[in-house]
């Protein structure tokens, strides 16, 4: 559905300068709390944060699965015991990413949102 020329970039990949420039869209299948926080603060010291920030600077659409970045999806976190200010920061990071133009969705919905992007833009 997305075509045959899909580039997969991992943390061990060399910086994908040309594939990023040629990309129609950047898809983040797992957006972690760490990466969400770094991108929210424009810190690009990992491949994931650098790739997302670079995509935004190139005005590339970015679609990210937010599940791993949401505190509610962390089984080891008891939300009732989480300090409200800390929870607000974690949720605020995701809100800030949305203001940057990153389209956040659930992992279950990632394929549908990505296909919808292609139908809207194509």
Distance CA 53, CA 47 (A): 10
Mean pLDDT within 76-99: 86
Please count the helices (runs of H) and the strands (runs of E) in the chain: 5, 3
Is residue 54 within 8 Å of residue 17, measured between CB atoms? Answer: no
Share of residues in the chain with pLDDT > 70 (%) = 84
pLDDT at 87: 85
What pLDDT digit, counting tens, does each position of 9-34 carry?
776 777 778 888 988 899 999 999 99
pLDDT at 19: 84
Q: For residue 27, which of 5, 3, 58, 60 has the smallest C-alpha distance?
A: 60
pLDDT at 81: 76
The residue assigned the tokens 């990413």 is 97
What pLDDT digit, counting tens, does each position of 38-68 carry?
999 999 999 999 999 999 999 999 999 999 9
């Amino acid at each position: 559905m997305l075509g045959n020329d899909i580039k997969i970039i991992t943390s061990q990949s060399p910086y994908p300068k040309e594939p990023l420039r040629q990309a129609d869209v950047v898809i983040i299948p797992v957006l972690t709390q760490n990466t969400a926080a770094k991108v929210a603060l424009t810190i690009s010291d990992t491949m994931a944060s650098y790739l997302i920030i670079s995509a935004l600077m190139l005005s590339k659409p970015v679609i990210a699965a937010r599940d791993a970045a949401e505190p509610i999806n962390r089984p080891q976190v008891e939300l009732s015991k989480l300090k409200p200010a800390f929870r607000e920061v974690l949720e605020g990071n995701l809100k800030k990413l949305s203001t940057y133009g990153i389209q956040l969705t659930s992992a279950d919905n990632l394929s549908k949102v990505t296909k919808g992007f292609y139908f809207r833009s194509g």
